[in-house]
Chains A and B, each alone.
Chain A
Amino acid sequence: MFYCDEKEPILRFGDVLRGYVLVNPSIKDPISILHKNYDYKIDVEIPSYSVVLTPCCSISKKGNTTISLTPLVRIMSKFLINPYFKGDLTRINCIMEPQQSLPSDDWNRLSQIEREKRSKIGKKYACLANFIYEKNEIFEEYTLAGETLRNYMIDFNNVYRIKCNKIQMLGQPSADTTINSIIESKCLQLSAETRTQLKDKLSYYYRIPEEDIVD
């Protein structure tokens, strides 16, 4: 089961939310002391759905008013070229054999040395920055490479934060019914198993680099 049947009246890691503004700044160059080039722009949009990437315990921390979010976006069409992924897109969320990480044509085109090198790695993650959200009736249907889909994904490279004073009131007894706007923004909650998968993959994404591992 990918999602919970019953949503809890709090925000949790991995929750799908609706109604949160996404601010996306971009710069042409970093602003240096010598060349004060203020060439930047800030795009603002409201994604259909966003996913909470703040750990549950940090959300409920007293006085916390900020959460990290990432927008749910359509999956990359090239995922569908790989039959292993196409069979179940959420396989991308878990570790896999080296041969499963590539379409067989691409695997066969690799040199013998490259195939051996990749085979030695064993079962590991692929597409490290991506986590697929299982299809759900609330998600808008779309067509990709001739396939009708309702799967969406998140990209760990695309995280933003948002502040809302009502977040700190979550989980606390309050007569203020306006707090419900936060709860009402919550559309889906991951099952404990899926939340663990998301936590594991995100942790791996922020893993200790090989050069920093002390033997």
Chain B
Amino acid sequence: MNINIENYENNGLKEQGTGEHDKSEDYKIVFYPFDKYQIGVKLTLTNEFIEITEVKINKSFLSYEQKTATKGYHDVDKFYSEE
């Protein structure tokens, strides 16, 4: 069987790219908000836990509780208006 070694290696490199990597089709990374952090979790395609990939600051600084805490005020201006 004739195998073109040069093409074989090139094709392999084309598929793999360069540098350290995983096979992207084997897992997915999902980010979960936790307090002021976002936790990156690697899961299998059937949602089985593999590992925590990263912990980063949640840049949407206001949590839902903080956002809702900014709702409402006592609308009393008409009672104190001097016009």
Contact = CB atoms under 8 A, between A and B. Distances in A.
Interface of A: 76-79, 96, 98, 101-103, 106, 118, 121-122, 124-129, 204, 207-208, 210, 213-215
11 contacts: A79-B80, A102-B76, A121-B72, A121-B73, A121-B74, A122-B72, A126-B74, A204-B70, A208-B70, A210-B72, A214-B67
A129 B64 CA distance: 25
A208 B77 CA distance: 20
B70 A207 contact: yes
Contacts, number: 50
Interface residues of B, number: 15
Interface in B37-83: 62, 64, 67-68, 70-74, 76-77, 79-82
A204 B73 contact: yes
Contact of B74 (A79, A124, A208): A124
B82 A78 contact: yes
Contacts of B73: 121, 124-126, 128, 204
A78 B81 contact: yes
A35 to B, nearest CB: 28
Given A76-B82, A77-B82, A78-B82, A213 B68 contact: yes
A102 B79 contact: yes
Interface string B3-29: 000000000000000000000000000
